[in-house]
Amino acid sequence: MKRLKAKFKQNYYQIDIPKTIEWLKSTAMPGSTVKYINDFPLDEKASPTAVFYVSKPNRAIGHMNYVHLFNSQYGMLVSGSDADVIEKHAEVSAARCLECRDVVYSKGRHHVETCTCGNINVDGGDAYFKLSCRPGSKYRTLKINLLTNKITKCQ
Ligand SMILES: [Zn+2]
């Protein structure tokens, strides 16, 4: 497995990251570090889940190390998990378009991500991996670790 340098799209909801970090810090224990990790496909949710890390959550009121923000029929919702859950979902299937070089991955069961040139798209979140492409387009399948941003070739 070879490591590749590549960028992929983050912050699907275009959340105001600094503002959200300030909000999460205000709910955490003093001295807590808070950062945005990535958008994850979680538990077959239809829409992407934005994941933030909080180093010292307030466990007295049930908070956990990872905060999930996701869209639902009720609007944006918040939930949480600890490292065991997030680590289980960290590695996702992805594809690189060899025309525009974009790396794309599906962030939720009904989230389709298309590369810039439109040759390939992926779908399925963590429920399944569906890759569609225009006839004759070239691509490589990859794995992304969403905790480390490391991208590895499949073959
Ligand atoms: Zn492309």
Note whether 50 and 70 are within 8 A (CB).
Answer: yes
Residues with Cβ within 8 Å of 15's Cβ and at least 6 positions away in sequence, in order, are 36, 50, 69
Centroid of ligand 1 to alpha carbon of 52 (angstroms): 29
Q: What is the model's pLDDT at position 16? A: 96
Centroid of ligand 1 to alpha carbon of 115 (angstroms): 4
Q: What is the largest CA-CA distance in the chain?
A: 56
Query: Hey, what are 140's tokens?
Result: 């490589």
Q: Give Cα separations from 152 to 3, 22, 27, 123, 155 (angstroms).
A: 5, 33, 36, 19, 9
Centroid of ligand 1 to alpha carbon of 119 (angstroms): 5
Q: What is the model's pLDDT at position 5? A: 52
* Predicted confidence pLDDT, tens digits, the chain (155 residues): 444 455 788 899 999 999 999 999 999 999 999 999 999 999 878 899 999 999 999 999 999 999 999 998 899 999 999 999 999 999 999 999 999 999 999 999 999 999 999 999 999 999 999 999 999 999 999 999 999 999 998 86
Residues with CB under 5 Å of ion ligand 1 are: 97, 99-100, 115, 117, 119
Residues with Cβ within 8 Å of 7's Cβ and at least 6 positions away in sequence, in order, are 103
Q: What is the model's pLDDT at position 120? A: 98
